[in-house]
């Protein structure tokens, strides 16, 4: 083969690689979010990111399990819906190779009821729903403890379960359900602890409608997660910049008031 032929082949291969890379760079990043506030906020993030040359495609989910499964399988490039304790539990339980790249917002978890106007009005043996995943279930039990209705083993920490209850003066019956189902189950329960994003989706305002609400500060700030292999890619910095923009912060404040709190 002549030297000219070899150089021609190398040039063609280089050109093909350049085209392929350009096409890959032009492909929108897929962002997994849960329906409701996370999706609404990321629509604003998308507009801000596009001005920085970053294209996003938002993919909505209705539960907490699938966004991480989709990220792991490569169907998503990042997701934005979970707090750090939940991510850490998923990494431990499922072996995901994920990292958090930024904090986003906090949705205070609240206890809601269609049968009583206060926690004090709960009768003995009342059925109280909590999320069935370890971190959010523990979060609900800690709220009940903070309000004086339960005592938990001190060592249980953020991952407390009903088995860690040491005192239950009202003999509350703790009912564990999928987090997404709790707001829809209020007619069948005496009260339920509902995550802020699901409360908003169900038309419940945490400040106005809850009968108990956790403190705004704490370890439950939501985060943006990516695969470990992607954490240093150039688009990561652009995602963080777009999310942490003043435009997004103002949108959150004006749209959700005190029901959603920025964590940056």
Buried b (16+ CB within 10 A) or exposed e, 122-135: beeebbbbbbebbb
Question: Do residues 236 and 223 make contact, with C-beta atoms less than 8 angstroms apart?
Answer: no
Same fold across 3-107+219-262 and 110-213:
yes
The pLDDT assigned to 23 comes to: 30
Question: How far, in Å, CA of 25 to CA of 131, rounded?
Answer: 39
From the list 122, 170, 165, the residue with the least C-alpha distance to 140 is: 165
Topology, domain 3-107+219-262? D-Maltodextrin-Binding Protein; domain 2 (3.40.190)
Three-state DSSP at 245 gives: coil
Domain chopping of the chain, boundaries: 3-107+219-262, 110-213
CA distance 230 to 238: 13
Q: Report whether 216 contacts 118 (CB < 8 A).
A: no
CA distance 236 to 103: 13
Interhelix angle 66-73/84-94, rounded to 10 degrees, is 60
pTM above 0.85, yes or no: no
Contacts of 91 (CB under 8 A, 6+ apart): 97, 98
Asked if 168 and 147 touch (Cβ cutoff 8 Å), the reply is no
Q: Which of 57, 56, 90 is nearest to 223 (CA)?
A: 90
Per-residue pLDDT at 160: 95
Which CATH code of 2.30.30.100, 3.90.930.60, 3.30.450.20, 3.40.190.10 fits the domain covering 110-213?
3.40.190.10
What does the pLDDT read at residue 45? 98
Q: Consecutive sets of 10 residues in the chain, 264 residues long: mean pLDDT of each?
A: 47 41 66 96 98 97 96 98 95 97 94 97 98 93 97 94 98 97 98 93 91 84 97 98 98 90 92
Q: What is the pLDDT of residue 197?
A: 87
Look at residues 90, 63, 58 and name the one whose alpha carbon lies nearest to residue 77.
58
What is the per-residue pLDDT for 6?
A: 43
Tokens read off for 218:
């704490």
Nearest-angstrom CA–CA distance, 177 and 179 = 6
- CB-neighbour burial class of residue 16 (10 A; exposed 0-12, middle 13-18, buried 19+): exposed
Q: Which pLDDT belongs to residue 216? A: 66
SS3 at position 227: strand
């Amino acid at each position: 083969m002549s030297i000219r032929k070899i150089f021609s082949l190398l040039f063609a291969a280089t050109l093909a690689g350049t085209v392929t890379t350009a096409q890959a760079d032009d492909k929108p990043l897929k962002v997994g979010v849960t329906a409701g506030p996370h999706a609404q906020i990321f629509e604003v993030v998308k507009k801000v990111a596009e001005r920085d040359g970053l294209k996003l495609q938002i993919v909505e989910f209705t539960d907490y399990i699938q966004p991480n499964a989709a990220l792991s399988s490569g169907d998503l490039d990042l997701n934005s819906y979970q707090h750090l304790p939940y991510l850490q539990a998923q990494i431990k339980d499922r072996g995901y190779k994920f990292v958090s790249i930024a904090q986003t917002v906090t949705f205070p978890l609240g206890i809601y009821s269609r049968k009583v106007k206060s926690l004090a009005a709960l009768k003995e043996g009342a059925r109280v729903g909590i999320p069935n995943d370890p971190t959010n279930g523990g979060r609900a039990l800690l709220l009940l403890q903070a309000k004086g209705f339960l005592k938990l083993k001190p060592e249980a920490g953020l991952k407390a379960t009903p088995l860690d209850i040491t005192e239950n003066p009202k003999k509350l019956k703790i009912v564990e359900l999928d987090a997404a189902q709790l707001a829809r189950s209020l007619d069948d329960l005496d009260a339920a602890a509902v995550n802020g994003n699901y409360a908003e989706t169900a038309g419940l305002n945490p400040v106005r409608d809850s009968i108990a609400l956790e403190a705004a500060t704490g370890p439950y700030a939501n985060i943006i997660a990516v695969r470990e292999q992607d954490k240093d890619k150039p688009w990561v910095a652009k995602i963080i910049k777009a999310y942490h923009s003043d435009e997004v912060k103002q949108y959150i404040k004006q749209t959700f008031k005190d029901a959603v709190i920025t964590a940056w």
